[in-house]
Amino acid sequence: MSVTQKTVVVGAGPVGSLAALFAAQRGHEVEVYELRPDLRNPGTIPLNFTKSINLAISERGINAMRSAGHPSLLKTVMTGTIPMRGRMIHGKSPLGDLYEHAQDYDAKGRIKAIYAIDRSGLNEKLLNVLDSMPNVKLFFNHKLTGADFRARRAWFEARDVDVSPNGRPREIEISFDLMIGADGAHSAVRYHMMKFTRMDYQQEYIDTLWCEFRIEPQEALSHGENGAKFQISQNHLHIWPGRDFMFIAIPSEDGSFTSTLFLPSKQFAELENNPAQLPSFFDQNFPGVTDLIPRESLISSFQSNPHLPLISLKCRPYHYSSSGVIVGDAAHAMVPFYGQGMNAGMEDVRILFSIFDKHNEMLENSNSLVEGHKSSPMSMSSRAEALAEYSDIRAPDAYAINELALQNYVEMRSSVLSMRYRLRKFLEEFMSVNFPNFGWQTKYSRVSFSNQGYSDIVRQSDHQGRILMRVFAACITGPVATAFLIFGYRYRKPLLSTAAGILGLN
């Protein structure tokens, strides 16, 4: 075994890049292999996205970067992000007036926000940090084609300029101590790992496709007095709910909004056959959007941007022995409706390395002779134990957020409009403001603003929901029962004789 642990990361998306940084900070010899060209080169577009895509980053992603041990990473990454302190629901009243209804995330009026972040910008900043580290090598245009987790060897197709004499991409073979698969939903690492471990695997495509649009910044001349460059509030995640579909918009630093249409495949097909219908479809279902996006731009974006599917996948375990582990979308791609996919992936990395650190510490406590411990490789058996612990701890949480993300689609496109949803939100906020000592918080708040395990949140929130319904039922039934008793006492004779009559006892 080499003196330094060789960690190979497959996939240089946000999760793989962060994993490489965590490994490099621990002195590993790190190699990162990425299928696509370096996205820092002009004109390179990340897989499945237009260049501009904005995501919501929240506490879990932020905390993972905070824990990366790099002095300026978090500050660099958060520069240029835009806080979104709640949802802005758009609609039309029965009288035909357009309205906006803000639903802030924090009822207590504190600054609690998720942040709009440019995905490519985040990725670029992480790659720049990796580039500056002497123990990290980045290989772009390298596609993983095979891996043997017993022999610890892997094969890549090198698709850069250097092709083999027969004109095909050249194949390279490498060795590794640990391979971290962060190669997204269609992970090749997962596929090869499945041949070595008894992995349960389940995937589902929901019947919804998505397509990106763009709300342009205000015209320079019409900037407000404060220089406002956003056409709608910059500090909200905008939602046009449509019951079976929805349109959302997330702000960007330049004053534009990345907007996304989520629509069942059948309706997508109808509009594909007749794109001229698109503006009237929007007018009917997403009131006000055609004031923000010119009709021609709506049609051209719909025609030029891809119409992509949404996959939700669960699997377990995430590792094989001491040599392989999958993180991020490779392990638990989810539908994007809780804004947690990347956040959960980054959290995977923080948790994985905290478990490695714990096992390393145990090893060092039992071997006080080891010096320069940061670069000494873990023994294979401790790494195997750490990976098994990771799979055990992480799978229930990943399953939970997968389910929550599916449920939140219904909430975003439909429940936000319902009385029942608003009543529960009102009661939960009332409890969290007036009875803070009970630790009452909404599910959304726990998911987005804490680092509590997702499965724990589901349990706690179900429990809260039951209490709330009992309290609510008591509030309703209490006065009714009291009125019945008072009324019944005053009029008990007539009531009794009426009841006897009904029962045929008179």
Q: Which residues bind ligand FAD (CB under 6 A)?
A: 10-16, 33-36, 47, 55-56, 143-144, 182-184, 188, 210, 260, 328-329, 336, 339-343, 345
For the chain, the first-to-last Cα distance in angstroms comes to 97
User: Which run of H or E residues covers position 488?
Assistant: helix 454-490
Two tokens, residue 146: 């095979």
Bridging pattern class, strands 153-163 and 142-148: antiparallel
Closest approach of Cβ 329 to ligand FAD, in Å? 4
Nearer to ligand FAD, 238 or 359 (CB): 238
Closest approach of Cβ 209 to ligand FAD, in Å? 10
Nearer to ligand FAD, 309 or 465 (CB): 309
- φ/ψ bin of 319: left (φ > 0), alpha (ψ from -120 to 50), beta (otherwise): beta
Closest approach of Cβ 187 to ligand FAD, in Å? 7
> Which residues neighbour 349 within 8 Å (Cβ) at sequence distance 6 or greater?
15, 18, 19, 22, 64, 327, 328
Ranges assigned E (strand) in 317-469: 319-320, 324-326
Nearer to ligand FAD, 14 or 317 (CB): 14
Q: Output helix, strand, coil percentages for the chain, rounded to the nearest 5.
A: 45, 25, 30
Instruction: Give the side-chain half-sphere CA count within 13 A for 369.
Output: 0
Closest approach of Cβ 144 to ligand FAD, in Å? 4
Nearer to ligand FAD, 154 or 289 (CB): 154
Nearer to ligand FAD, 319 or 424 (CB): 319
Candidates 455, 399, 406, 460; CA nearest to 428 is 460
Two tokens, residue 211: 């397509």
310: β partners: 206
Closest approach of Cβ 46 to ligand FAD, in Å? 6
212: β partners: 260
Label residue 168 exposed, middle or buried (CB < 10 Å: 0-12, 13-18, 19+): exposed
Closest approach of Cβ 117 to ligand FAD, in Å? 8
Nearer to ligand FAD, 177 or 183 (CB): 183
φ and ψ at 377, to 5 degrees?
Answer: -70, 150
Angle at 328 between CA 327 and CA 330, to 5 degrees: 75
Closest approach of Cβ 55 to ligand FAD, in Å? 4
Nearer to ligand FAD, 408 or 432 (CB): 408
Nearer to ligand FAD, 208 or 461 (CB): 208
Closest approach of Cβ 169 to ligand FAD, in Å? 12
